[in-house]
Amino acid sequence: MIKLKTIQGEGKGSVFNCNGKVVEIGRATSNRIVLNDPMISWRHGAIELNRGRYMYKDLASRNGTTLYRNKKRLVMKGSVRARTIGKNDELLLGATVLKVLEISFPLKTKNAGGKGASR
């Protein structure tokens, strides 16, 4: 589960609790997180759970995405389209900033035979 909060832009204060392996973000109503910002593409980006970590992928948006981590600016545009994200990271999409408030991972459970984790 990943929890995001809009800290800048239209919808400031909105909180999104997202479960699942993929969470799409953009202006289109088909996205899990819909942001009404004209600087954001219809399908701007996606958060994916991959190999035990969350990744943000810019989906070839027109304006790109900027990740702020520990006050360091990491741009996602051109050849760099994906980065891992963690608690307190901020994503700038258009004029909207989403802050990662919480991250939790699905619990691994043992199968009936007691060997290994389920998939």
pLDDT, tens digit, 9 for 90 and up, residues 31-75: 999 999 999 999 999 999 988 899 999 999 999 999 999 989 998
Please tell me the distance from the alpha carbon of residue 45 to that of residue 65, in angstroms, as a whole number.
Answer: 8
Pick from 6, 41, 43: nearest CA to 32: 43
In the block, which residue shows the tokens 């400031």? Answer: 12
Report the predicted TM-score, pTM, of the whole model to 2 decimal places: 0.85
Min mean pLDDT across 3-7, 94-98, 104-108 is at 104-108
